[in-house]
Amino acid sequence: MIVEVILDVPLERSFDYLCDDVVADDCGRCVRVPWGTGQKIGLIRAVKADSTHPQDRLKHVLEIWRHIPALTSSDWGLIEFASRYYHYPLGQTAMGILPPALRRIRGWSPRKTWQSSSMKNVAEPGLLQELNCAQAEILHNLRQSQGYTPHLLYGITGSGKTEIYLNWMDNLLEQGKQVLLLVPEINLTPQFEARLTRRWPTLFWVSLHSGISDTERAHRWLAAQRGEALLVLGTRLAVFTPMPNLGLIIVDEEHDSSFKQQEGLRYSARDLAIVRANRESIPILLGSATPSLESWLNARSGRYRLHRLTQRAVPLARLPAVYFTPVGQSLIWKEALQKTLMRGEQALVFINRRGYAPVLYCPACGWQAFCQRCSTRLVVHRQDQILRCHHCGIVKRLVRHCPECGSLHLETRGDGTQKVETHLKECFPEHRILRLDSDSLSRKGSWSVAYQQILDHEVDLLIGTQLVVKGHDFPDLSFVVVLNADQSLYSSDFRATERLLAQLIQVTGRAGRANLPGQVWIETDYPDHPVYQTLKNQEIEEYWEHELGVRQQTGWPPYSYLAILRAESCDRELLEGFMKQAGEQAHTLAMEGLMVYEPVPALLYRKAGQYRYQILVQADGRVALQEFLGCWRIALVRLKTGKRLRWVLEVDPIDC
């Protein structure tokens, strides 16, 4: 017999091998095959009698891994869709979604002792929360879902969305169905894990994210694939988890850009979750306090069913009062902060930049510290006495004198979390301050520790970036200040205000979640901007309608569909030549309803020594865009570029 195998190689084709003892059921299993002078792990795509290649030139399969379940046709369906839609080779797509431990040459040997014996496959309810009327009504409606039914749950922060998820999941778990719950950040999993354990103390469920060891990840994946783990809680990569009895998908914080994979197969887990629910004829629930405009438009046009929660769930919890102060005038909010801390409540200072300061410069001659490999400045990290590039990661010693003129008087400009931390420690020496950014939380498990510290009120004042504010529920937190909020208003990205508003609502939603009245301070020079006015009532509907109007007029998504060709090379001439040809190809291939923009340097023009260019394509419809991309891709592959230039097509990009 012949087996058709797909391999992790950047080619559009599969490879035929001979195999004597193969059966039709082996389709979807991992195989070890010879490849060149070495070996590779692949997946059996098909079993057939004949090959189009001469049989005497085919090699033999070395081993079929029968101790691992095969991918089913519905697993393949999603993989093939992703490969087609994102124009990424099938072999790389399929092998890329397997847990790394399952694609090692030396094979996979399961440990017997893995599953904790106290866990059962039944959902015995633990702690239950009685739903309020609004929640109960929504739950009732959700439960009516028959087959593929996409729902959007728009509920202000703290309105009890999660409680609805848990209740709906409860039903399905009881029926023995599996549930997939996707969250944007690995940081959000401990909080959910705690809530799930409280809810179903004996249920066997698994979480899947990049923060666990390869072996552990493979075990958990297999438990889901065998149908043993009824519930999978995971970040974007979990969207591909094989689950034979999948009955419901929930995507929490569906607007979050972390659902978008930014390298390799550049997929949106939120979008693939929708596709998966559709293919498997099951309901899906997207939840957010700030739905993406894409989902909002889908809800408004009736493609998704819209449910609203407009009140906070805890009876006495009120929305925080919002105050505005001019940028850089910190005296007023510091006074309010002081009072908050004196009352024994917790506070959060939000600033979306880590490090000490983003600029180091010499007032005497104008020199600035730039990264030699990127078109960007080096960030001062004073504690470590280094300068670091936040794009390529390069580290330099913090210089004491100007390399140009020798002046000993160097200055920093702008604030990062470390500078704010230093400053606030001087202002509030008697309070416990904790900085939360990717530098302070870089070690594994440090977020769980920090999270527990906050819950146990072992810290008073948090200083954090967006990394830590998403979706967290800190009952004692009553005060939030957002430093220098205006920055995103100057961005050229058409999504800038959507993002700013979503971010501010998420941040300010941290305040006053339990029984404490909260207050939020925003440093802005434009307090009358609609974004800030909308923030006051956390009610985005009106603003989203306005924003949709703008998008419709300007023709940006969700009223059009985008794709981007990104290319990079250390050879600028080669790159510019390639982009010119690629652009010409695109113009030739473009049909009506499709617009090809000129090649332009990327926002970060140079990164890690590579020059970067892009071409944006905008289409009226998805079908036309897909058809065009298929043709363009074939044409691009023919432009032989060699190893010194890399390019990628990205569909539905979120940064352009």
Which spans of this chain sit near ligand ADP (rule: CB under 6 A)?
129-132, 135, 155, 157-163, 313-314, 473
**Cis peptide bond N-terminal to 315, omega within 30:** no
Mark the segment that binds Zn ion (CB under 5 A) among 15-23, 365-373, 434-442, 570-578.
365-373
State the nearest-atom distance from the C-beta of 383 to Zn ion, in Å.
20
State the nearest-atom distance from the C-beta of 252 to ligand ADP, in Å.
7
**Residue 254 in tokens:** 């569906």
Instruction: Please tell me whether residue 362 binds Zn ion under the rule CB under 5 A.
Output: yes
Mark the segment that binds Zn ion (CB under 5 A) among 11-19, 174-182, 344-352, 402-410.
402-410
State the nearest-atom distance from the C-beta of 288 to ligand ADP, in Å.
9
CA–CA–CA angle 496, 499, 503 (5° rounding): 140
Nearer to ligand ADP, 56 or 130 (CB): 130
- From candidates 41, 289, 337, 374, binder to Zn ion by CB under 5 A: 374
Nearer to Zn ion, 558 or 601 (CB): 601
- Distance spanning both ends of the chain, measured CA to CA: 48
Paired sense of beta strands 321-325 and 519-523, if any? parallel
Instruction: Please tell me whether residue 458 binds Zn ion under the rule CB under 5 A.
Output: no
- From candidates 105, 332, 405, 600, binder to Zn ion by CB under 5 A: 405
Picked from Zn ion, ligand ADP, none, the partner binding residue 374 (CB below 5 to 8 A depending on kind) is Zn ion
- From candidates 129, 149, 375, 407, binder to Zn ion by CB under 5 A: 407
- Coil, strand or helix: which one is 326? coil
- Coil, strand or helix: which one is 232? strand
Nearer to ligand ADP, 129 or 202 (CB): 129
CA–CA–CA angle 173, 174, 180 (5° rounding): 5
Q: Which amino acid is at 304?
A: Y
State the nearest-atom distance from the C-beta of 368 to Zn ion, in Å.
10
Nearer to ligand ADP, 362 or 505 (CB): 505
Nearest alpha-carbon partner for 174 in 146, 154, 203, 132: 203
Picked from Zn ion, ligand ADP, none, the partner binding residue 96 (CB below 5 to 8 A depending on kind) is none
Contact 285, 321 (CB under 8 A): no
Nearer to Zn ion, 375 or 448 (CB): 375
State the nearest-atom distance from the C-beta of 122 to ligand ADP, in Å.
24
Contact 260, 294 (CB under 8 A): no
Nearer to Zn ion, 399 or 590 (CB): 399
State the nearest-atom distance from the C-beta of 3 to Zn ion, in Å.
46
State the nearest-atom distance from the C-beta of 317 to ligand ADP, in Å.
7
Picked from Zn ion, ligand ADP, none, the partner binding residue 405 (CB below 5 to 8 A depending on kind) is Zn ion
For 391-424, the DSSP string reads: TT--EEEPPSS-TTT--S--EEES--HHHHHHHH
Picked from ligand ADP, Zn ion, none, the partner binding residue 365 (CB below 5 to 8 A depending on kind) is Zn ion
Contact 234, 183 (CB under 8 A): yes
In sequence order, what are the residues at sequence separation of 6 or more whose Cβ sits closer than 8 angstroms to the Cβ of residue 206? 220, 223, 224, 229, 231, 232, 233
State the nearest-atom distance from the C-beta of 31 to ligand ADP, in Å.
44
Nearer to Zn ion, 392 or 635 (CB): 392
DSSP conformation class of 58 = P
**Residue 14 in tokens:** 């599969």
Nearer to Zn ion, 350 or 613 (CB): 613
- From candidates 194, 386, 392, 548, binder to Zn ion by CB under 5 A: 392
Give the torsion through C-alpha atoms of 278, 279, 282, 288, to 10 deg. Answer: -40
Centroid of chain to Cα 536: 27
State the nearest-atom distance from the C-beta of 132 to ligand ADP, in Å.
4
Q: What is the CA radius of gyration of the chain?
A: 26
Could you count the other beta carbons within 10 Å of the beta carbon of residue 555? 12
Strand partners, 322: 520
Distance separating alpha carbons of residues 554 and 552, to the nearest angstrom: 6
Instruction: Please tell me whether residue 360 binds Zn ion under the rule CB under 5 A.
Output: no
Nearer to ligand ADP, 44 or 313 (CB): 313
# chain residues binding Zn ion, by CB under 5 A: 14
State the nearest-atom distance from the C-beta of 437 to Zn ion, in Å.
19
- Coil, strand or helix: which one is 41? strand
Q: Which amino acid is at 443?
A: R
State the nearest-atom distance from the C-beta of 154 to Zn ion, in Å.
40
Picked from ligand ADP, Zn ion, none, the partner binding residue 161 (CB below 5 to 8 A depending on kind) is ligand ADP
- From candidates 316, 332, 365, 395, binder to Zn ion by CB under 5 A: 365
Strand partners, 649: 565
Nearer to Zn ion, 127 or 365 (CB): 365
Picked from ligand ADP, Zn ion, none, the partner binding residue 526 (CB below 5 to 8 A depending on kind) is none
Distance separating alpha carbons of residues 5 and 29, to the nearest angstrom: 10
Mark the segment that binds Zn ion (CB under 5 A) among 366-374, 470-478, 503-511, 634-642.
366-374
**For residue 91, what are the CA distances in angstroms to 9, 94, 413?**
6, 5, 48
Picked from Zn ion, ligand ADP, none, the partner binding residue 364 (CB below 5 to 8 A depending on kind) is Zn ion
State the nearest-atom distance from the C-beta of 153 to ligand ADP, in Å.
9
Distance separating alpha carbons of residues 251 and 270, to the nearest angstrom: 7
- From candidates 25, 124, 174, 404, binder to Zn ion by CB under 5 A: 404
Nearer to Zn ion, 365 or 623 (CB): 365
Paired sense of beta strands 519-523 and 2-7, if any? unpaired
Picked from ligand ADP, Zn ion, none, the partner binding residue 368 (CB below 5 to 8 A depending on kind) is none
- From candidates 1, 186, 364, 631, binder to Zn ion by CB under 5 A: 364
Nearer to Zn ion, 394 or 550 (CB): 394
Nearer to ligand ADP, 185 or 415 (CB): 185
Picked from Zn ion, ligand ADP, none, the partner binding residue 473 (CB below 5 to 8 A depending on kind) is ligand ADP
Sign of CA dihedral 499, 500, 502, 507: positive
CA–CA–CA angle 518, 464, 539 (5° rounding): 45
**Residue 290 in tokens:** 């700030």
**For residue 519, what are the CA distances in angstroms to 4, 307, 346, 476, 511?**
62, 28, 11, 13, 7
Distance separating alpha carbons of residues 584 and 577, to the nearest angstrom: 11
Picked from Zn ion, ligand ADP, none, the partner binding residue 362 (CB below 5 to 8 A depending on kind) is Zn ion
The residues binding Zn ion (CB under 5 A) are 362, 364-365, 367, 371, 373-374, 389, 391-392, 402, 404-405, 407
